[in-house]
Amino acid sequence: PHLSEILNLHDFEAIAKLVMVEKAWAYYSSAADDEITNRENHMAYHRIWFRPKILVDVEKVDFSTTILGQKSSMPFYITATALGKLGHPDGELNLTRAAGKSGVIQMIPTLSSCSFDELVDGAAPGQPQFYQLYVNKDRNITKKLVQRAEQRGIKGLFITVDAPQLGRREKDMRQKFEDDGADVQKGNRVERNQGAARAISSFIDPSLNWKDIEWFKSITKMPLVLKGVQRAEDAIKAYDAGVAGVVLSNHGGRQMDFARSGIEILCEVVKAFREQRNICFPHPGFELYVDGGVRRATDVLKAIALGATAVGIGRPFLYAYSSYGQEGIDKAMVILRDEFEMNMRLLGATSLKEIGPELVDAGSIHQH
Ligand code: FNR
């Protein structure tokens, strides 16, 4: 179908399933075990309802924001997803260019197919970028990656903390991962015949723990964010450890099956901070993000209402560029922009600051 027939982010997934080569589709779409968490990620948003305000002058609405102090035209960022060239020869560069064009921030993955320098060089002047870190068993390698990122102007370091071992993604494991050199940067190729994920991940250090946070603070001045926090206790621990934020996430359902959705964790985290630290969100100096299953601007607005600063979106952009190249992502951005504008008008909010818990009914999300 022509791009003009694409009406929402779900459509990209349906097209991608038809047009992508099987190995790439298996890697991008797969999730852990029975994929229950993956399904729940989007379904959890169905349990939250809006309480729109009427008779507000909504002629002008503004949905721009800042994430870790960096301007973003919309309240989401493109989250890190590995192996960008499986879906399209330009790989993650598609995301870099589309991010620059639409004024949103891309998080560059450790396991990008394009090299880190290519993705930084591919950005427009002044375009902010974040970096996602998988921590290597060899801390010298990690230290070099982190300091290289800082030198090259990366604005935030997202340390993935939900992957001491990669989850079991059976759809992906059924595919033989042929090392054709195009998919992954040199030095990261290890095992074959176990799917793409396992082939590239054996360097990740399962001994990573809370004590390492101090070490990260000693080697970089970039704001640190823990990606993959799943309970209030750990979010508070992260706050006390002095990091700049946490991503409430289950890794797109790709790690532990039956982990809860990010939006559900958000409710628990916000309540715990209110009760135990007397803190309300958004809170300067410590930001909450959510990812997993975000497919509509309404999903994003729900997360904002409940206290998130922004959300991460992953698969929809992969499906968009795998099917249509960069134009696909550009189209996804236009769709989201239109959805934000309309839904803020319908909600009766002219800026994101006006979107708080009073605009949603999250009563059927279990609160601890
Ligand atoms: C991911 N994700 C991920 N996260 C991370 O920290 N490092 C990584 O290398 C990857 N790689 C990766 C590959 C693919 C194909 C997917 C789909 C996801 C997880 C990602 O950052 C994010 O948590 C989820 O993708 C969010 O869910 P949605 O938006 O894809 O539903």
Concatenated DSSP letters of 40-57: HHHHGGGG-EE----S--
Report the nearest-CA residue for atom 11 of ligand 1. 81
Mean pLDDT along residues 40-62: 97
Residue 177 exposed, middle or buried by CB count within 10 Å (0-12, 13-18, 19+) = buried
For the CA of 315, the closest atom of ligand 1 is 30
CA dist., res. 122 & res. 134, Å (int): 22
Check residue 176 and give its pLDDT.
72
At 197 the pLDDT is 74
Q: Is the distance from the beta carbon of residue 251 to the nearest atom of ligand 1 less than 6 Å?
A: yes
Assign 337 to helix, strand or coil. Answer: helix
Ligand 1 atom nearest 41 alpha carbon: 31
* Ligand 1 pocket check for 227: Cβ under 6 Å: yes
Whole-number Å distance, alpha carbon 79 to ligand 1 midpoint, is 7
Contacts of 299 (CB under 8 A, 6+ apart): 42, 45, 263, 293, 311
Average pLDDT in the 199-218 region?
A: 93
Contacts of residue 233, Cβ cutoff 8 Å, sequence gap at least 6: 272
CA atoms within 13 A on the CB side of 143: 8
Angle at 16 between CA 13 and CA 22, to 5 degrees: 125
- Tell me whether residue 134 is one of the annotated catalytic residues: yes
Taking only the tens place, the pLDDT of each residue in 318-340 is 999 999 999 999 999 999 999 99
Catalytic residue (one of 28, 77, 131, 134):
134
Q: Write down the pTM of the prediction.
A: 0.95
User: Distance, CA 31 to ligand 1 centroid (Å)?
Assistant: 10
Q: Which of these is catalytic: 11, 90, 162, 257?
A: 162
Distance set, CA 367 to CA 252, 257, 270, 272, 363 (Å): 22, 21, 10, 10, 8
Nearest CA residue ID for atom 2, ligand 1: 81
What pLDDT does 50 receive?
Answer: 98
Phi and psi, residue 224, nearest 5°:
-100, 135
Ligand 1 centroid–CA 52 distance in Å is 32
Reply yes or no on whether 251 is catalytic: yes
**Residue position matching structure tokens 């054709």:** 180
* Mean pLDDT calculated for residue range 232-250: 98
78 vs 70: CA distance, rounded Å: 14
Helix 297-305 vs helix 262-277: crossing angle, to nearest 10: 10
- Which pLDDT value is given to residue 175? 87
Band (199; pLDDT cuts 50, 70, 90): confident
Q: How many CB atoms lie within 10 A of CB 39?
A: 14
In angstroms, what is the span from residue 272 Cα to ligand 1's centroid?
A: 27
- Residue 367 binned pLDDT confidence (cut-offs 50, 70, 90): low
Name the residue of 13, 27, 81, 159 to mutate for ligand 1: max ligand atoms within 8 A of Cβ. 81
Residue 185's pLDDT band (cuts 50, 70, 90): low
Which two structure tokens, joined as six digits, stand for 181? 């050199």
Ligand 1 atom nearest to CA at 249: 23
Nearest CA to ligand 1 atom 12: 81
> For this structure, is 366 an active site residue?
no
Mean pLDDT of 256-276: 97
Residue partners of 275: CB distance under 8 A and separation at least 6: none
CA 101, CA 236: separation in Å to the nearest integer? 36
For 10-25, what is each residue's pLDDT tens digit? Answer: 999 999 999 999 999 9
Bridge-partner residues for 88, per DSSP?
none
Ligand 1 nearest-atom number relative to CA 291: 26
The tens digit of pLDDT for each residue in 282-299 reads 999 999 999 999 999 999
Average pLDDT over all residues of the chain:
94
Q: Which amino acid is at 336?
A: L
ipTM of the complex: 0.99
Cα(329) to centroid of ligand 1, in Å? 17
